[in-house]
Amino acid sequence: MILDGEVVVVTGVGAGLGARLARRAVDEGASVVMAARSDRVTADLEESLDGRAVAVACDVRDADACARVAATAVERFGKVTGLVNSAYAHPSFDDLIDTPPELLQKALDVILHGSLNMTRAVAPHMKEAGGGSIVNVGTMATRKPMRSEAAYAVAKAAMSCATRYLALELGAHGIRVNTAAMGWLDGPGVRVYLQVTAQQRGVSEQEVYDEIASRNPLGRIPTDEACAGAILMLLSRYSSEVTGAMLDVNGGEFLPL
């Protein structure tokens, strides 16, 4: 088990990637604190994970709420050694020039400032534990611009830049900070997209799926479950010498130089 003995905070735990991360982290030996605005998913997860996970209500825009999450981890499990910043907001599907400023600000507040709030909350505990690993969940849209993703991608790009600075600043304390840049994720959100797009175009959901899947060498849309593994690897000791990096997790749809 690659996370044996670790205590990991996961933000933005919902029906998709966050829930997969929490469950798989427990399977890999970690104890997990699940931070989410809603308890619809986390309550069931907490019950099913047999005392290895605890849910805490948290809006990451609230620094005090983030501090409570970190405190709960220490009170319940004795330390904090891992953090996955996966909470996000996608408040607009407009082009950037047409995005209302307040919606761009909302994306920045959740994605950039929310991840910084949680990082500030856990960093002292990681220093006390002798180190830790932080993974910021990024997006391929920062590297391969796509229409309708502007406000979301700009906020994620700011978070990715913060990753590198935090890696530089926290490395002396044994804290690694990396970004896992996700592409399409075959989970609840994409399944809704497939359904809506198929209805609008008068085609089957499989046709829409195949069109998206054909863009990458692996010929499929990566699943939430599979992509969670890449994040867990960055959390683990197998990545002990990796910090300030961006790992592309998109089935090869974007192939960096």
**Among all residues, which ones are annotated catalytic?**
152
Answer yes or no: are the C-beta atoms of 11 and 114 closer than 8 Å: yes
What are the residues whose beta carbons fall under 8 Å from the beta carbon of 214, sequence distance 6 or more?
Answer: none
Residue 20's SS3 state is helix
Pairing relationship of beta strands 246-249 and 132-139 according to DSSP bridges? unpaired
Of 13, 3, 51, the residue nearest 224 (C-alpha): 13
Torsion of CA 214, 218, 223, 224, to 10 degrees: -110
Q: Are strands 7-11 and 82-85 parallel, antiparallel or unpaired?
A: parallel
Q: How far is CA 129 from the centre of its chain?
A: 23
Quote the tokens at residue 105: 């600000």
Distance, in Å, from the CA atom of 138 to the CA atom of 144, rounded to the nearest integer, reads 12
| Three-state DSSP class for residue 143 | coil
Distance between CA 230 and CA 180 in Å, rounded?
Answer: 8
Q: How much is the CA Rg of the chain, to the nearest whole Å? A: 18
